[in-house]
Amino acid sequence: MFMTKTILKNLLTKYATRLYPFQKRETFAHSRGELKIDMEKCILCGVCQMRCPSQCIKVDKQAKTWEVDPFSCVYCGVCVEACPVKCLYQEKLYRAAVAEKDMVMHVQQPKETAEPAAT
């Protein structure tokens, strides 16, 4: 009898969950989402790599690259807080689902220097 009452209640009430791809939930105010970097500000110091508890960040000073493995990242924000030039930030939105696992690599472009004017 108890089970019949529960079944009827579940059949006649609204869903308890969302149909995710079709109904998306707004993110919370202080949620930590996908990790991003502004490579123009980055000085490739490697502090984010040293402080990352999941060791998902790789900084190569010689090649001038910054690489993150989003599948290893736990989105804790320690690297964002540790960055001395504040070039790391986390978006409110979470990373979209992907079919294949890949790394996210950013290459620092050489800074343009002003050439002296020819006279």
Number of domains present in the structure of the chain: 1
The CATH number covering residue 99 comes to 3.30.70.3270
- d(Cα 51, Cα 67) in Å, to the nearest integer? 15
Residue 74: domain span: 27-107
Domain for residue 15, yes or no?
no
Bridge partners (DSSP) listed for residue 67? 58, 105
Domain for residue 69, yes or no?
yes
pLDDT in tens, the chain (119 residues): 678 988 888 888 888 788 877 888 888 888 888 899 999 999 999 999 999 999 999 999 999 999 999 889 998 999 999 999 999 999 887 777 778 877 788 887 766 555 555 54
- pTM to 2 decimal places: 0.68
pLDDT at 33: 85
- Using only C-alpha atoms, the chain has a radius of gyration, in whole angstroms, of 23
Angstrom CA distances, 37 to 3, 86, 110, 119, stand at 53, 9, 16, 40
Domain for residue 67, yes or no?
yes
